Amino acid sequence: MSTTDRVQIFQVSTLYGAATVAAAIDAGQFGAPGDARRVLLVSNNAEIPETALRLDAMTGYDRIAARFDETVDWNEAIHPHHPSSWSPRPEESPLWQRVLRTAWGLGAATVELVVESIQVNPAKALAAVFAESGVRVYADGLMSYGPTRDDLPQSIACRVQGVLHLDLVPGLRPLLLTEYGVGAELVPDEAFRAVLREIAEAAADDTGLAAAAAAGPTALLLGQYLAVLGILTADEEEELHARMLRGAAAAGHRSVVFKPHPTAPVRHTQALHEEAARAGVTLTVLDGPLLAETFYERCRPELVVGCFSTAMLTAAVYYRVPVARVGTETVLARLTPYENSNRIPLTVVDHLVPDLESGSAPRVPGAAPNTLAPLVRAVGYCMRPTAHPGLRGEAVRYVEERGEELHFPAERLAELGLKVPAGR
């Protein structure tokens, strides 16, 4: 079969996700070069895409895009609809497929889809349009260790052929899509590190990164902008960042870099500068279009601090940088509803990563301890009991033996008919 007879469409919305896909391509997990025509489908899922940083503006994007035969824009293809909310009505799917085959020059080729977050749009919409196509899912973060966020239509679930994921917690297996019998496949560590090095090379002339490096930082603080998710207020999130800085200062770090979330307001960094002045710490804000991993590659910090960012585990696993958490318990206690998909990343980080404010020494977590998988599976059951009824027995035993309130609130246990442990 020639490349014109077979097309692979890779849907991405973040550079981290695109790097994951690129590493899998380099490792031969999508076949040999030339086996298929490869199309990079870029989507901007920000609330207001027109005002958000475009993926093609990220440092290193061009290195990733070079692996593909062409790039197309999903936002343009479905304009004026929003990628996160639009999906075709069932009767419209064949028409949309004809439109996109014509617009993208696909002809009658067999189409294979590689998507992120298949349970939501735009991936779900793309799978609905190409209703005969096989689907592979790639997971670019800690959410892959948790249950599938929503039920999939059987018409899509039966076509999912596998989940590609990074080994962010060595020894822990993803729950994602396992209720549909979908297996998981690791993206090789060495392939992903090679892609991260390639992206970092593209930042050789980045003035913001050079300025950050010149300050001689020893610690990096990761912002996540939890206020936009309604988990914290803007003031509470400012205080969370201040706690990170105070914790780093108390651990002896005198030059610190803060990497805000790309959508965070400027006021976050203004408040942090004031906190740094009070703590006698040199603060540099790295707000350019860079991955945190590019900073790790170039500056080799001695500490990375965050709440539950995937970039914390990337620092530990791929760069052997000690990590510490701040505010994880606060956010876990505040998170609603219980089945919120951020719960598993929070659970994993809370269990693996030392609390900076408790005096625990930052460290590289290493392989998953024997206590982690039972916890994740019990929480996963409590999040999506109808998707994983087979986990109920494990969850009952875990809750009875070790079910602390932080992960298993009494109200949720009552909803599921599980017994609240005595003495709690």
Residue 387 has pLDDT above 50, yes or no: yes
Confidence (pLDDT) at 338: 96
**Could you tell me the pLDDT band of residue 95, with boundaries at 50, 70 and 90?**
very high
φ, ψ at 313 (rounded to 5°): -75, -30
Q: Which helix (H) or strand (E) holds 185?
A: strand 184-186
Q: Which residue from 119, 138, 120, 95 is spatially nearest to 9, judged by alpha carbons?
A: 138
Question: In the numeric block, which tokens belong to residue 368?
Answer: 């998953």
Q: 272 vs 25, 48, 224, 225, 305, CA distance in Å?
A: 40, 26, 14, 14, 14
**Could you tell me the pLDDT band of residue 52, with boundaries at 50, 70 and 90?**
confident
Proportion of the chain above pLDDT 90, given as a percent: 88
d(C-alpha 348, C-alpha 107), whole Å:
45
Residue 322 has pLDDT above 60, yes or no: yes
More confident call, 386 vs 50:
386
Residue 371 has pLDDT above 50, yes or no: yes
Proportion of the chain above pLDDT 70, given as a percent: 97
Q: What residues form DSSP beta bridges with 285? A: 258
Q: What is the pLDDT of residues 125-141, one digit of tens each?
A: 999 999 999 999 999 79
3-state helix, strand, coil in the chain (%, to 5): 45, 15, 40
Q: Which residue from 173, 131, 210 is spatially nearest to 344, judged by alpha carbons?
A: 173
Residue 356 has pLDDT above 70, yes or no: yes
Q: Which residue from 142, 332, 309 is spatially nearest to 231, judged by alpha carbons?
A: 332
d(C-alpha 407, C-alpha 379), whole Å:
7
Confidence (pLDDT) at 266: 61
- Average pLDDT over the chain reads 94
The predicted model gives 233-260 an average pLDDT of 95
d(C-alpha 224, C-alpha 228), whole Å:
9
Burial of 96 (0-12, 13-18, 19+ CB in 10 A): buried
Confidence (pLDDT) at 3: 53
Helix (H, G, I), strand (E, B) or coil at 197: helix
Exposure of 258 in the CB half-sphere (CA atoms within 13 A): 30
Q: What is the pLDDT of residues 187-220, one digit of tens each?
A: 999 999 999 999 999 999 999 999 999 999 999 9
Instruction: Please answer whether residues 182 and 173 qualify as being in contact, where contact means their C-beta atoms are separated by less than 8 angstroms.
Output: no
d(C-alpha 417, C-alpha 260), whole Å:
41
Q: Token pair 């602390």 is at which residue?
A: 404
Q: What is the pLDDT of residues 270-286, one digit of tens each?
A: 889 999 999 999 999 99
**Could you tell me the pLDDT band of residue 2, with boundaries at 50, 70 and 90?**
very low
Confidence (pLDDT) at 263: 62
Instruction: Please answer whether residues 230 and 334 qualify as being in contact, where contact means their C-beta atoms are separated by less than 8 angstroms.
Output: no
Domains and CATH numbers, the chain: 3-193 (3.40.50), 206-358 (3.40.50.1980), 372-415 (no CATH)
**Could you tell me the pLDDT band of residue 265, with boundaries at 50, 70 and 90?**
low
Is the bond preceding residue 80 a cis peptide, omega within 30 degrees? yes
Residue 1 has pLDDT above 60, yes or no: no
